[in-house]
């Protein structure tokens, strides 16, 4: 106990710590209040360490304590949301922000953000304009729809459309399509939230047109089709085509709504991607309201697109909840720029990062791996690097059973565990996220942009060469968050 009392007494005073060069050096770039807080917290932390961990013997020299406080201050200063290199190979990684944006989309956001814009101002007439006019014509042209609007995300689009079209009534859904899309988005719960009664029909694997027909009652407002975007039912299955469902709905004066999930605007089957129903096909089949995400395979910003027949879209647009879900000008700018690429499918494939990654051939990825492996040969004493075949997932609840053939760099560190390597890369700047497989770290290049290759190499170089303890410095790259 006396020992510890002694140690406690040796903790330097906050003022003393503040005057050490490690901290005073930061005073130009760091607000004083943050430096003070960091020094106080560090001192308190040391006190706790000494009291709670009797074996601990922290370095209590003012210089060392100031170093610790400086790292704390730098953590407070650095942005929480930051770019990450996605080497997982999963294209639409929801945890990593889904779709990266095209250059034009980035530029459009920047230009609109910098000053004022005609967001809701009609430059022709000089009168009030409409926020969604900037994308409606494009969406209608690309999808063959009569009208379109946009909200914050597809979950919001589904909730809003259901509420506006079927509140207090019934919607008929096949049991094979009662989807859960991660988090709290479950079709039955969304319907309940929208005040819509769910009428389930059919079975998990088979639903027939007669199931829908027999379920129609006085309270029925619509048929809801949900794209089974994150699973597939295979084997002995049957579902009702959009055409047949639309024909039945027309006969009984009902609406048909389809939640497409990802919402493909292009048929990518020439690139070995399985055929998905495109938005245009759903609209062409006569579906009244189609909804889909902006940041899945479309490759744009987070948004929920609602399009289809004019009357139904108008009803949705006029609903009071629409105002609570409206998108901001930055999203609108990015969405418009992304949609413009699709006017020329070749341009879309060239400019939209998600489509470019989807269409990249396995051979192309292997060539990039070979080049990087060669550049990593200088690190041979620190790690063995191999090229291994590794397929990619699309992710984000799209094309669930599709594996895109590709390659990854498999890094086996010699002085670290693969887990330690992964941890340190994750704590670098920029952080790199890969996947561990049997004591090696896989870095899949399908989701790493060419422009990120140098940063990836630099990150590996730094981490593999510094295998001792956490390096100390003013900018600690391996800081644990
Ligand atoms: C992804 C998805 C959603 C949710 O879309 P967000 O844009 O993430 O809100 C809803 N329905 C389906 C079928 C989906 O795949």
Ligand 1: nearest atom to the Cα of 179: 13
Ligand 1: nearest atom to the Cα of 94: 8
265 and 363 part of one domain: no
Q: Looking at the domain assignment, is residue 481 inside a domain?
A: no
206 and 275 part of one domain: yes
Question: Residue 385 sits in a domain of what CATH number?
Answer: 3.90.1150.110
Rounded to the nearest angstrom, the distance between the alpha carbon of 264 and the centre of ligand 1 is: 13
d(CA 381, CA 383): 6
Would you state the pLDDT for residue 230?
72
CA torsion angle 452 458 463 464 (round to 10): 120
Hey, what are 175's tokens?
A: 């049991």
225 and 242 part of one domain: yes
pLDDT-wise least confident of 228-242, 249-263, 418-432: 228-242
Strands 440-444 and 289-293: unpaired
Ligand 1: nearest atom to the Cα of 304: 7
Rounded to the nearest angstrom, the distance between the alpha carbon of 419 and the centre of ligand 1 is: 32
185 and 327 part of one domain: yes
Residue 235 · residue 205 · CB < 8 Å: yes
Percent of the chain with pLDDT over 90: 78
Would you state the pLDDT for residue 272?
78
For residue 458, what pLDDT band results from cuts at 50, 70 and 90?
Answer: very high
Around ligand 1, the residues with Cβ closer than 6 Å are 153-155, 158, 179, 181, 185, 226-227, 229, 259, 261-262, 293, 304, 397
Residues in CB range of 71: below 8 A, 6 or more apart? 472, 476, 479
Ligand 1: nearest atom to the Cα of 302: 7
Domains contained in the chain, number: 3
Ligand 1: nearest atom to the Cα of 230: 15
Would you state the pLDDT for residue 469?
47
Q: Judge whether residue 417 has pLDDT over 90.
A: yes
Q: Whose CA is nearest to atom 15 of ligand 1?
A: 261
Rounded to the nearest angstrom, the distance between the alpha carbon of 343 and the centre of ligand 1 is: 24
Rounded to the nearest angstrom, the distance between the alpha carbon of 229 and the centre of ligand 1 is: 8
Domain housing 12: 2-77
pLDDT-wise least confident of 90-99, 226-235, 316-325, 443-452: 226-235
pLDDT, tens only, 351-384: 999 999 999 999 999 999 999 999 999 999 999 9
178 and 154 part of one domain: yes
Residue among 177, 229, 302, 398 whose CB has most ligand 1 atoms within 8 A, to mutate:
229
215 and 308 part of one domain: yes
Mean pLDDT to the nearest integer, 57-84: 93
Concatenating the DSSP letter of every residue in 291-328 gives EEESSSTT-SSS-EEEEE-HHHHHHHHHSHHHHHTPPP
Long-range own/partner contacts, residues 264-267 (CB < 8 A, 24 or more apart): 264/297, 264/298, 265/142, 265/143, 265/298, 265/342, 265/348, 266/342, 266/345, 266/348, 266/349, 266/355
Hey, what are 439's tokens?
A: 């004591």
228 and 374 part of one domain: no
203 and 304 part of one domain: yes
pLDDT, tens only, 74-120: 989 989 999 999 999 999 999 999 999 999 999 999 999 999 999 99
Rounded to the nearest angstrom, the distance between the alpha carbon of 391 and the centre of ligand 1 is: 24
Q: Judge whether residue 66 has pLDDT over 50.
A: yes
pTM surpassing 0.75?
Answer: yes
Q: Whose CA is nearest to atom 13 of ligand 1?
A: 261
Q: Whose CA is nearest to atom 6 of ligand 1?
A: 154
Across 155-164, 191-200, 267-276, which has the greatest mean pLDDT? Answer: 155-164
Rounded to the nearest angstrom, the distance between the alpha carbon of 304 and the centre of ligand 1 is: 8
Q: Looking at the domain assignment, is residue 473 inside a domain?
A: no
Would you state the pLDDT for residue 467?
65
Across 44-58, 73-87, 178-192, which has the greatest mean pLDDT? Answer: 73-87
Mean pLDDT computed over every residue of the chain: 92
Q: Looking at the domain assignment, is residue 276 inside a domain?
A: yes
What distances in angstroms separate CA 119 from CA 147, 293, 328, one per listed residue? 19, 22, 9
Question: Residue 341 sits in a domain of what CATH number?
Answer: 3.40.640.10
Ligand 1: nearest atom to the Cα of 226: 13
- Can you say whether residue 261 is alpha, beta or left, with left for phi > 0 and alpha for psi between -120 and 50 degrees? left
Residue among 225, 232, 293 whose CB has most ligand 1 atoms within 8 A, to mutate:
293
d(CA 30, CA 161): 48
In the three-class reduction of DSSP (H, G, I as helix; E, B as strand; rest coil), residue 61 is classed as coil
Would you state the pLDDT for residue 236?
79
d(CA 433, CA 431): 7
Q: Which residue would you say has higher pLDDT here, 3 or 16?
A: 16
For residue 185, what pLDDT band results from cuts at 50, 70 and 90?
Answer: confident
Would you state the pLDDT for residue 2?
66
Rounded to the nearest angstrom, the distance between the alpha carbon of 262 and the centre of ligand 1 is: 7
Strands 435-437 and 440-444: antiparallel
Q: Looking at the domain assignment, is residue 472 inside a domain?
A: no
Q: Strand pairing partners for 444?
A: 408
- The residue whose two tokens read 């059919």 is 202
Considering only CA atoms, which of 24, 25, 21, 18 is closest in space to residue 42? 18
Concatenating the DSSP letter of every residue in 367-404 gives HHHHHHHHHGGGGTTTEEEEEEE--EEEETTEEEEEEE
CA torsion angle 122 124 127 131 (round to 10): -10
Q: Judge whether residue 430 has pLDDT over 50.
A: yes
pLDDT, tens only, 316-341: 999 999 999 999 999 999 999 999 99
Q: Looking at the domain assignment, is residue 479 inside a domain?
A: no
Ligand 1: nearest atom to the Cα of 156: 9
328 and 229 part of one domain: yes
Q: Looking at the domain assignment, is residue 170 inside a domain?
A: yes
pLDDT-wise least confident of 220-229, 282-291, 302-311, 363-372: 220-229
Rounded to the nearest angstrom, the distance between the alpha carbon of 30 and the centre of ligand 1 is: 41
Rounded to the nearest angstrom, the distance between the alpha carbon of 123 and the centre of ligand 1 is: 35
pLDDT, tens only, 302-317: 999 999 999 999 999 9
In the three-class reduction of DSSP (H, G, I as helix; E, B as strand; rest coil), residue 425 is classed as helix
Q: Judge whether residue 474 has pLDDT over 70.
A: no
Considering only CA atoms, which of 227, 220, 91, 247 is closest in space to residue 158? 227
Q: Whose CA is nearest to atom 5 of ligand 1?
A: 154
Q: Looking at the domain assignment, is residue 339 inside a domain?
A: yes
Residue among 178, 257, 261 whose CB has most ligand 1 atoms within 8 A, to mutate:
261
d(CA 258, CA 247): 15
Would you state the pLDDT for residue 69?
96
Residue 196 · residue 163 · CB < 8 Å: yes
347 and 273 part of one domain: yes
Q: Looking at the domain assignment, is residue 25 inside a domain?
A: yes
Last residue of a domain, one of 351, 374, 396: 351
Last residue of a domain, one of 300, 328, 351: 351
53 and 28 part of one domain: yes
422 and 444 part of one domain: yes
- Can you say whether residue 294 is alpha, beta or left, with left for phi > 0 and alpha for psi between -120 and 50 degrees? alpha
Q: Judge whether residue 468 has pLDDT over 70.
A: no
Q: Whose CA is nearest to atom 2 of ligand 1?
A: 261
């Amino acid at each position: 106990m006396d020992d510890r009392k002694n140690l406690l007494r040796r903790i330097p005073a906050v003022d003393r710590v503040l005057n050490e060069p490690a901290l005073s050096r930061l005073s130009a770039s760091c607000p004083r209040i943050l430096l003070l807080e960091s020094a106080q917290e560090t001192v308190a932390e040391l006190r706790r360490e000494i009291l709670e961990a009797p074996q601990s013997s922290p370095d209590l020299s003012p210089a060392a304590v100031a170093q610790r406080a400086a790292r704390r201050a730098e953590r407070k200063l650095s942005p929480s949301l930051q770019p990450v290199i996605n080497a997982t190979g999963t294209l639409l990684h929801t945890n990593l922000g889904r779709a990266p944006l095209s250059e034009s989309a980035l530029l459009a956001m920047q230009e609109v953000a910098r000053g004022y814009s005609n967001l809701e101002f009609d430059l022709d007439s000089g009168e009030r304009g409409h926020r969604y006019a900037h994308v409606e014509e494009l969406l209608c042209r690309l999808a063959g729809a009569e009208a379109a609007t946009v909200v914050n995300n597809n979950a919001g689009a589904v909730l809003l459309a259901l509420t506006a079209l079927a509140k207090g009534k019934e919607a008929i859904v096949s049991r094979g399509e009662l989807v859960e899309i991660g988090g709290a988005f479950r079709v039955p719960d969304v319907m309940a939230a929208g005040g819509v009664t769910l009428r389930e029909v059919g079975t998990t694997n088979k639903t027939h047109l007669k199931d829908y027909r027999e379920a129609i009652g006085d309270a029925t407002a619509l048929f809801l089709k949900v794209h089974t975007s994150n699973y597939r039912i295979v084997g002995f299955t049957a579902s009702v085509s959009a055409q047949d469902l639309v024909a039945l709905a027309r006969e009984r004066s009902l609406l048909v709504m389809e939640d497409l999930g990802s919402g493909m605007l292009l048929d990518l089957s020439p690139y070995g991607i399985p055929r998905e129903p495109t938005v245009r096909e759903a609209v062409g089949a006569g579906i009244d309201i189609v909804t889909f995400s902006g940041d899945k395979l479309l490759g744009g910003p987070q948004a929920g697109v609602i399009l289809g027949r004019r009357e139904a879209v108008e009803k949705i647009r006029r609903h009071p909840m629409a105002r609570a879900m409206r998108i901001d000008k930055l999203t609108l700018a990015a969405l418009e720029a992304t949609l413009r690429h699709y006017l020329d499918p070749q341009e879309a494939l060239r400019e939209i990062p998600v489509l470019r990654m989807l269409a990249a051939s396995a051979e192309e990825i292997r060539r990039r791996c070979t080049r990087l492996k060669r550049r990593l040969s200088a690190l041979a004493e620190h790690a063995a690097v191999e090229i291994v075949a590794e397929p990619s997932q699309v992710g984000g609840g799209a094309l669930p059973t599709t594996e895109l053939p590709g390659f990854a760099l498999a890094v086996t560190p010699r002085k670290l565990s693969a887990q330690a390597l992964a941890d340190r890369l994750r704590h670098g700047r920029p952080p790199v996220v890969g996947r561990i497989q049997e004591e090696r770290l896989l870095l899949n290049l399908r989701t790493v942009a060419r422009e990120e290759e140098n940063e990836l190499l630099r990150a590996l170089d730094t981490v593999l060469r510094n295998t001792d303890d956490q390096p100390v410095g003013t900018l600690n790259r391996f800081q644990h968050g």
